[in-house]
A and B are shown apart, each in its own frame.
Chain A
Amino acid sequence: MRGRPNLFTRYEADAGIFPSNTQRVWFVIGLLAVAALPIWLPRDWMILIATAFIASVGVIGLNLITGYAGQVSLGHAFFLGIGAYAGAALGGVATDRVTGLGLDILIWLPAAGLAAGLVGAIIAPVAVRLRGLYLAFLTLGLVFLGEHIFREWDSVTGGPGIGREPAELSLLGWRFDLDGTIGGFDVTREQQIYWLGLVVLIFMGFMAKNLVRSRIGRAFAAIRDRDIAAEVMGIDLTRYKVLAFAVSSFYAGVAGALLFTVTGFVNTASFNLLLSINYIAMVVIGGAASIAGSIMGAAFLTLLPRMIDAAGDVLPFLEVGSQGILSTSQLERVIFGVLIIAFLIFEPMGLYGIWIRIRNYWKAWPFSY
C-alpha cells in the first residue's frame, strides 16, 4: 500500500520484484546510468562490460539450476558451446569450410537457446536419478563429450585450431557489428554491442526473476532444500528437475550464442572444463540463488583480469618484461583460486551476501538487528 511498504493486500505485491516505488525509481535511474556509460567509456572497456552482460545471462542460467534448484552442474560449458554453434550455424555466413544460413538475430538467438534447452531436456531424465557428486560427474562427462563433438564436427565448428566466425548481429537488416548512425548520431560497433548485451540481460534477468518468484521457483527451492520433503509436498521431482535443466540450458544457449559475437571468433577449445569452473566460480562469488548476485559475479570475474592489469603498474612483484616473480595471468589464476576459497569460507552468499549485509546495516538502523 502507498506509504506503507510492508502492508500487502495482494500476493502479487508481496512477491513483487520491487517492494516500493522508491526502489523502482532507483532501478530506472541506475539503469539509465549504465545505459549512458558507453558515451564516455573507452572501446576496450565497452567490450569487456558487454562480455560481462552476456556472461551474466549464462551465470543466471547456471544459478537457476545450481543455486535455486540445487543441482550441481559442471556441464555448463557444453551448453554454452551448443548455443554458440547453433547460433553460428543459423546466423553465421557460409564459407567453403563451414555451413551458415545467415538468418536474423530474431531467429538464431532464440533458436540457439532452444537447441541448448532441448539437449538439456533430453539429458535431464538421466540426471534426475542422480544427486550431488554423481550429478557433478555426469555433467562433467558432458563437457568431455562436447569437446569431442565440437572437435570432430568441422562442418559446423570449423575444427580444432581453426574455428569459425560466430553469428552475425543482424536485426531486420540493421547490423550491430558495424559502425553506423542512429538519428544523426554516430554509434560505434562497441556501443551497439554494449546496448544489445544490456537489453538481452535485462530481458533475461527479469524472466529469471519472474520464474524464481513464481510457483516454479518455489518448487526449485523446495527441491534444493530437501528433495524428499519437496516430493511429499506434492512437487513432481522429475518434472521440475527436467524443467530446471531445460531452462538453465536455454540461458546457457543464449549466452553462448552471443558471447563470441563480441570477440568475433569461436574456437572449439573454448568449451572446456575450465569454462564450466569459471561459471561455477561466478555463481559462488556472486552469490548462489540470487539473480543480482549472478550479475555481480559475472561482472567481477570478467573485469578481474583487467583490474589486475591495471594493478600491475603498482605491484612490484609482477613481471615487467622478464623481471618479477609472477606474470599477470599467473597472478590472475592465483587470485581466482584464493577468491573462491575465501568466499566459500567467509561469505558463502557471495558478493550478494556482502551487499545484503551492507543493506541490512542501514535497514536495521538505528538497531543492529
Chain B
Amino acid sequence: MTSTLERSGAGASALGVNSIPALLRSIAREEPDRVALREKEFGIWQETTYGGYWDLVQAAAMAMWSLGVRPGDKVAIQSENRIAWVVSDIAAAAIQAASVGLYATNPAAEVEYLLWHSEAKVLIAEDQEQVDKALAVKDSLPNLTKIIYVEPRGVRSYNDPMLMSWEVFLGLGRAALEESPRRVDELVDGIDPNEVGTLVYTSGTTGPPKGAMLSHNNMTWVAESGRKLIAGDAVPESVQYLSYLPLCHVFGRLYDLAGALAMRATVNFAESIETVVSDLTEIQPTYFPAPPRIWEKMHAGVQIRMADASPIKKILYKIFLSTGMKNADRLLATGSRGLWGSLTHALGDVLVYRALKKKIGMQRCLQAVSGSAPIAPEVLKFFMALGVPIYEGWGMTETTAVGTVTTRDEIELGTIGKPIDDVEVELAEDGEMLVRSPGIFLGYFKNPEATAETIDSEGWMHTGDVAEWTERGFLRIVDRKKDIIITAGGKNISPSEIENKLKVSPFIKEAMVIGDRRKFLTALIGIEFDTVANWALRKNITFTTYRDLSEKPQVRELIQKAVDTANEHFARVETIKKFALIPKELDHEEGELTATQKIKRRVLTDQFSDLIEEMYA
C-alpha cells in the first residue's frame, strides 16, 4: 500500500491539484466562459459554462453543508445522467464528503441496502420514481435526513418534511455562500488527497454490492491517465463528450467527470438512454467510450439498415466492407494499411465510410474506447474497417476504471493490450491477474475482510480475472476466475469467449454458456428482439410477443445457423451442442442482469433450470 500512495502523489502532481473539485475550480478561474455542460431542454442544447458549473457546485456544496453534511459523510445520488448528478458529486467531494451513485434502475430493496450500507445523509433523487423508492424505505435508514428531488413533476403534492426541491436546495446553498463565501474554497484547499472522494458500489454478479472507496488521488490520477491515453498530448481545442454511460459506474465517471475535466471538454448529457442514437448524430463526440453491448448494437443496426437499402447502395457497401475488413486485417498484422490499402480506404471513405460514420455519430470521433467487458473481434474489426480508431481497455472499479489498453499502434485482437503508464501487472501462479497502480482503491467500505482478500500486503490488487501473456507481450483475459467451466471431462473452458462469438450474430442479444461438471456445453440464448423482428417481417413470419417470436421454429433455425457459425471457431469440446431460447427479455429490475447489463449467471441458472435440464436430459 505504501508504494501505491507514493506513486499516486506523483500522478496527481501532473494536474497540479489535490482533487477533482480543485481541478474544476482552476478551470473555472482560467476559462470561465468555456462551455462545460449541455443539457437538452425543449429541443435545444442549453449550455452551462465552466464558471457556471463551479457556481452550481459551490451552491450545492454549501447547501449540503447547511443540511449537516460534514467531512467523511456520504451523499447518495440516484438519477440518470444530468447536470445535477455531476454537480452533486463534485459538491460532495468539495466539502470533503463523498458521493455514492445509485442506478436509476435500482429497485427499492437495493436502494434500501445501498443507502443503509453507505450511511448516506442526503439523497439526491431525480424524480418521483426515485423519491417513491426512497420514501418507501426511509424508516429503516436512520442516517438519511433529506431527500432532494430534481424533477418536481408529481412530487409537488407530497407532504413529507424530508423532501426538498433542487431549486430550494440551491437557494439554501447560495444564501449560505453569501454568509461565508470562503468556506467552500477553504474546504477544497484542505482536502487530503488520500481520503475517500467517492464511493462506487460494484454491481456484483455475485452477492450484495460492495462499496469501493476511491480516493481523490485515484480520481485525479485517472483523469490524467485517461487524457494521456485517448488524446495523448494533443488535446483538441473543442472536445465534445456524450454522457450516457451511467455515472454511478466507474467507466462513466472516468470519462464524463474526470477525463472531461482534464481535457476541458464539453459534456453533453443524452436526453435518455432511448435517444442516445439520435443524440450521437447531433453531438458527433470527439471521444466515445462504450461497452461492447453498444458497439454490437451499432454494428447490428448498420447491418439491418443496409439489408433494407436499395441495390446500388447495398453493392457499394458490400464491396467496401470487404475491402475495409481486408484493410483492417493488414492494419492488425503490420500496423499500416499499405499503399493500396490506403487508396481503397480513401475511396471507400468518400463512397461509404464517411456517410456511414456520420449516421452512427462517429464522424468526428478521434478515438473510441471499448471497455467493461470483452468485445468480439469481428465487431472491433468492423469499426476499424470504417476507420474508427478503437481501443479496447481493461479496468475495474477497484483500479479506478483503467489498467491496460490496446493502442492505435499496438493492437492484437482478442487481447486487452498492455498496461498503461504507472500500472504494473503480474500473473499469479493460478493465472490470476495482479495489478498495482496509483489507481488502486482504498478498500471496501466497512468490509476489511474483503479488502484484505483483494489487496495484498505488497499493494497488489487481485483482480479475479484469469489472464495470460501472448507472444507479443499482450494480455489476454481468459475469463473471470469463478466463471471458468470445468467439464465432466476435466477440460477448462472459458464461457465468455464462446458467448462473445455467439453475440457477434446480430440476432443474439444474450448468451450464457453452461457446462460446469457436465458432459458437453449448452447455451441459453436470448434473441435481439429488434433485429429478429425485422428479419421475421421480411420473411413474412407473423408474431406477437418476444416469447412468441422466440418460439418460432424459423427463429430457432436462424439461431442454430448463428450457433453453427460460432462453433466453427472452436475445438470440438468447446462447441455448443444444444441451446435453448430464453422466453423473456432479461431485465435489471427483475434481477436477471446487473445494472450494467451483465448477466447474473446464478440467477439465470436457477430461473431457467428446467430449460437447462431439458438440454441434458
The stretch of B38-46, B142-150, B398-406, B547-555 in contact with A is B38-46
The stretch of B89-97, B203-211, B303-311 in contact with A is B303-311
Q: Is B282 among interface residues, defined by CB-CB distance under 8 A?
A: yes
Known: A365-B355, A366-B309, A368-B313. A9 touches B282 (CB 8 A): no
Q: Is A225 among interface residues, defined by CB-CB distance under 8 A?
A: no
Known: A3-B364, A9-B38, A11-B44. A366 touches B317 (CB 8 A): yes
Q: Is B284 among interface residues, defined by CB-CB distance under 8 A?
A: yes
B399 to chain A minimum Cβ distance, whole angstroms, is: 34
Q: Is A8 among interface residues, defined by CB-CB distance under 8 A?
A: yes
CB pair A4–B308 under 8 Å, yes or no, is no
Please measure, in the bound complex, the distance between the C-alpha atom of A367 and the C-alpha atom of B304, giving whole angstroms: 10
CB pair B284–A9 under 8 Å, yes or no, is no
B310: nearest chain-A partner, CB-CB: A368
Known: A9-B47, A367-B305. 18 other contacts (CB 8 A): A3-B284, A4-B240, A4-B284, A4-B364, A7-B45, A9-B38, A365-B313, A366-B306, A366-B313, A366-B351, A366-B356, A367-B306, A367-B308, A367-B313, A367-B359, A368-B308, A368-B309, A369-B308
Known: A7-B45, A9-B38, A9-B47. A367 touches B309 (CB 8 A): yes
Report B29-40 CB contacts with A as 1/0, cut-off 8 Å: 000000000100
Tell me how many residue pairs across A and B have CB atoms closer than 8 Å: 52
A3: nearest chain-B partner, CB-CB: B364
Q: Is A10 among interface residues, defined by CB-CB distance under 8 A?
A: yes
Q: Is A329 among interface residues, defined by CB-CB distance under 8 A?
A: no
Of B281, B316, B317, which is within 8 A of A6 by CB?
B281
A8 to chain B: which residues have CB within 8 Å?
Answer: 43-45, 282
B75 to chain A minimum Cβ distance, whole angstroms, is: 31
B45 to chain A: which residues have CB within 8 Å?
Answer: 7-9
Please measure, in the bound complex, the distance between the C-alpha atom of A348 and the C-alpha atom of B244, giving whole angstroms: 41
Q: Is B283 among interface residues, defined by CB-CB distance under 8 A?
A: yes
- The winner among B43, B44, B46, B308 for most chain A CB atoms within 10 A is B44
Report B96-110 CB contacts with A as 1/0, cut-off 8 Å: 000000000000000
Report A89-130 CB contacts with B as 1/0, cut-off 8 Å: 000000000000000000000000000000000000000000
Please measure, in the bound complex, the distance between the C-alpha atom of A6 and the C-alpha atom of B317, giving whole angstroms: 25
A13: nearest chain-B partner, CB-CB: B44
Known: A4-B364, A6-B281. A366 touches B352 (CB 8 A): yes
* A→B interface (CB under 8 Å): 3-4, 6-11, 14, 361, 365-369
CB pair A10–B44 under 8 Å, yes or no, is yes
Please measure, in the bound complex, the distance between the C-alpha atom of A6 and the C-alpha atom of B278, giving whole angstroms: 10
CB pair B283–A4 under 8 Å, yes or no, is yes
Give me 28 A-to-B residue pairs in the complex whose CB atoms sit less than 8 angstroms apart, sorted by A's number: A3-B364, A4-B282, A6-B281, A7-B45, A7-B282, A7-B283, A7-B284, A8-B43, A8-B45, A9-B45, A9-B46, A9-B47, A10-B44, A11-B43, A14-B43, A365-B313, A365-B355, A366-B309, A366-B316, A366-B351, A366-B352, A366-B356, A367-B306, A367-B309, A367-B313, A367-B359, A368-B305, A369-B308
Please measure, in the bound complex, the distance between the C-alpha atom of A368 and the C-alpha atom of B355, giving whole angstroms: 12
B160 to chain A minimum Cβ distance, whole angstroms, is: 36
Please measure, in the bound complex, the distance between the C-alpha atom of A279 and the C-alpha atom of B483, giving whole angstroms: 75
B46 to chain A: which residues have CB within 8 Å?
Answer: 9
A368 to chain B: which residues have CB within 8 Å?
Answer: 305, 308-310, 313
Number of interface residues of B (CB under 8 A): 25
A7 to chain B: which residues have CB within 8 Å?
Answer: 45, 282-284
A361 to chain B: which residues have CB within 8 Å?
Answer: 310
B355 to chain A: which residues have CB within 8 Å?
Answer: 365-366
Report B358-387 CB contacts with A as 1/0, cut-off 8 Å: 010000100000000000000000000000
B305 to chain A: which residues have CB within 8 Å?
Answer: 367-369
A12: nearest chain-B partner, CB-CB: B44
B309 to chain A: which residues have CB within 8 Å?
Answer: 366-368
- The winner among A7, A367, A368 for most chain B CB atoms within 10 A is A367
Please measure, in the bound complex, the distance between the C-alpha atom of A11 and the C-alpha atom of B40, giving whole angstroms: 12
B352 to chain A: which residues have CB within 8 Å?
Answer: 366
B240 to chain A: which residues have CB within 8 Å?
Answer: 4
B513 to chain A minimum Cβ distance, whole angstroms, is: 34
A6 to chain B: which residues have CB within 8 Å?
Answer: 281-282
A361 to chain B minimum Cβ distance, whole angstroms, is: 8
Please measure, in the bound complex, the distance between the C-alpha atom of A7 and the C-alpha atom of B279, giving whole angstroms: 9
- The winner among A8, A10, A365 for most chain B CB atoms within 10 A is A365
A366 to chain B: which residues have CB within 8 Å?
Answer: 306, 309, 313, 316-317, 351-352, 355-356
Please measure, in the bound complex, the distance between the C-alpha atom of A8 and the C-alpha atom of B44, giving whole angstroms: 6
Please measure, in the bound complex, the distance between the C-alpha atom of A11 and the C-alpha atom of B313, giving whole angstroms: 35
B282: nearest chain-A partner, CB-CB: A6
Q: Which residues of B, 315-361, contact A by the 8 Å Cβ criterion?
A: 316-317, 351-352, 355-356, 359
Please measure, in the bound complex, the distance between the C-alpha atom of A4 and the C-alpha atom of B364, giving whole angstroms: 9
A239 to chain B minimum Cβ distance, whole angstroms, is: 25
CB pair B44–A9 under 8 Å, yes or no, is yes
Please measure, in the bound complex, the distance between the C-alpha atom of A361 and the C-alpha atom of B311, giving whole angstroms: 12
A275 to chain B minimum Cβ distance, whole angstroms, is: 42
A368: nearest chain-B partner, CB-CB: B309
Please measure, in the bound complex, the distance between the C-alpha atom of A248 and the C-alpha atom of B356, giving whole angstroms: 43
Q: Which 3 A-B pairs have the closest CB atoms?
A: A368-B309, A6-B282, A367-B305
Please measure, in the bound complex, the distance between the C-alpha atom of A8 and the C-alpha atom of B356, giving whole angstroms: 22
Please measure, in the bound complex, the distance between the C-alpha atom of A93 and the C-alpha atom of B207, giving whole angstroms: 97
Please measure, in the bound complex, the distance between the C-alpha atom of A4 and the C-alpha atom of B283, giving whole angstroms: 7
Please measure, in the bound complex, the distance between the C-alpha atom of A81 and the C-alpha atom of B435, giving whole angstroms: 87
CB pair A14–B44 under 8 Å, yes or no, is yes
B281 to chain A: which residues have CB within 8 Å?
Answer: 6
Q: Which residues of B, 416-445, contact A by the 8 Å Cβ criterion?
A: none
Please measure, in the bound complex, the distance between the C-alpha atom of A367 and the C-alpha atom of B316, giving whole angstroms: 11
A7 to chain B minimum Cβ distance, whole angstroms, is: 5
Please measure, in the bound complex, the distance between the C-alpha atom of A367 and the C-alpha atom of B305, giving whole angstroms: 6
Please measure, in the bound complex, the distance between the C-alpha atom of A4 and the C-alpha atom of B45, giving whole angstroms: 13
B284 to chain A: which residues have CB within 8 Å?
Answer: 3-4, 7
Please measure, in the bound complex, the distance between the C-alpha atom of A6 and the C-alpha atom of B40, giving whole angstroms: 13
Please measure, in the bound complex, the distance between the C-alpha atom of A7 and the C-alpha atom of B351, giving whole angstroms: 24
Please measure, in the bound complex, the distance between the C-alpha atom of A3 and the C-alpha atom of B282, giving whole angstroms: 10
A369 to chain B: which residues have CB within 8 Å?
Answer: 305, 308
Please measure, in the bound complex, the distance between the C-alpha atom of A368 and the C-alpha atom of B305, giving whole angstroms: 7
B282 to chain A: which residues have CB within 8 Å?
Answer: 4, 6-8
Please measure, in the bound complex, the distance between the C-alpha atom of A367 and the C-alpha atom of B355, giving whole angstroms: 9
B313: nearest chain-A partner, CB-CB: A366
B38 to chain A: which residues have CB within 8 Å?
Answer: 9
B359 to chain A: which residues have CB within 8 Å?
Answer: 367
Report B251-287 CB contacts with A as 1/0, cut-off 8 Å: 0000000000000000000000000000001111000
Please measure, in the bound complex, the distance between the C-alpha atom of A9 and the C-alpha atom of B47, giving whole angstroms: 7
- The winner among B310, B317, B352 for most chain A CB atoms within 10 A is B310
A365 to chain B: which residues have CB within 8 Å?
Answer: 313, 355
Please measure, in the bound complex, the distance between the C-alpha atom of A369 and the C-alpha atom of B305, giving whole angstroms: 8
A10 to chain B: which residues have CB within 8 Å?
Answer: 44
Please measure, in the bound complex, the distance between the C-alpha atom of A14 and the C-alpha atom of B46, giving whole angstroms: 13
A23 to chain B minimum Cβ distance, whole angstroms, is: 16
Please measure, in the bound complex, the distance between the C-alpha atom of A11 and the C-alpha atom of B44, giving whole angstroms: 7
A364 to chain B minimum Cβ distance, whole angstroms, is: 8
Please measure, in the bound complex, the distance between the C-alpha atom of A150 and the C-alpha atom of B38, giving whole angstroms: 61
B44 to chain A: which residues have CB within 8 Å?
Answer: 8-11, 14
Please measure, in the bound complex, the distance between the C-alpha atom of A14 and the C-alpha atom of B45, giving whole angstroms: 10
Please measure, in the bound complex, the distance between the C-alpha atom of A114 and the C-alpha atom of B381, giving whole angstroms: 66
Report B282-307 CB contacts with A as 1/0, cut-off 8 Å: 11100000000000000000000110
Please measure, in the bound complex, the distance between the C-alpha atom of A366 and the C-alpha atom of B310, giving whole angstroms: 9
A362 to chain B minimum Cβ distance, whole angstroms, is: 9
Please measure, in the bound complex, the distance between the C-alpha atom of A174 and the C-alpha atom of B305, giving whole angstroms: 60
B512 to chain A minimum Cβ distance, whole angstroms, is: 33
A9 to chain B: which residues have CB within 8 Å?
Answer: 38, 44-47
Please measure, in the bound complex, the distance between the C-alpha atom of A365 and the C-alpha atom of B312, giving whole angstroms: 11
B310 to chain A: which residues have CB within 8 Å?
Answer: 361, 368
Please measure, in the bound complex, the distance between the C-alpha atom of A11 and the C-alpha atom of B43, giving whole angstroms: 8
Please measure, in the bound complex, the distance between the C-alpha atom of A155 and the C-alpha atom of B281, giving whole angstroms: 64
A13 to chain B minimum Cβ distance, whole angstroms, is: 9
B364 to chain A: which residues have CB within 8 Å?
Answer: 3-4
